[in-house]
Amino acid sequence: MPWVQMNNFRCPVASCPSEARFDWVCVADGSPMFLNEFGVISCGNGWHSGNINTWGWNCGNTYHNCGFGRADFEAFSFGLSQAAQMLQQHGAWWFQQLVIHMGYQYGR
């Protein structure tokens, strides 16, 4: 199960106005965030993990008002399209599996 570090990735909360790309880190311990082909997010040390659809996101934009939002299917998919390094690092099969498992999580 290859993990990809979430670098250069836009905020996946649908109504967040930020267009910046971030190297995501775990708010609890400051370690980098990773994503696998099953749609599981995990901090670098493995202490915190969860599915994409239940993970709380906050890119620091004032829109979040110090809270955490859930990733919207379309917004996360758009973020993936912008994060080409994931496809380059692990190939089409990995990326296809991620999209399939996102569909399961979001009931699509």
pLDDT of residue 83: 61
Contact 25, 88 (CB under 8 A): no
Comparing CA positions, the residue from 58, 41, 10 lying closest to residue 32 is 41
- At 7-45, the pLDDT tens digits run 888 888 888 899 888 899 998 889 999 999 999 999 988
Torsion-angle region of residue 65: left (phi > 0), alpha (psi -120 to 50) or beta? left
- Residue 85 host element (H or E): helix 84-105
State yes or no: pLDDT of 88 exceeds 90: no
Contact 37, 24 (CB under 8 A): no
The pTM for the full model equals 0.84
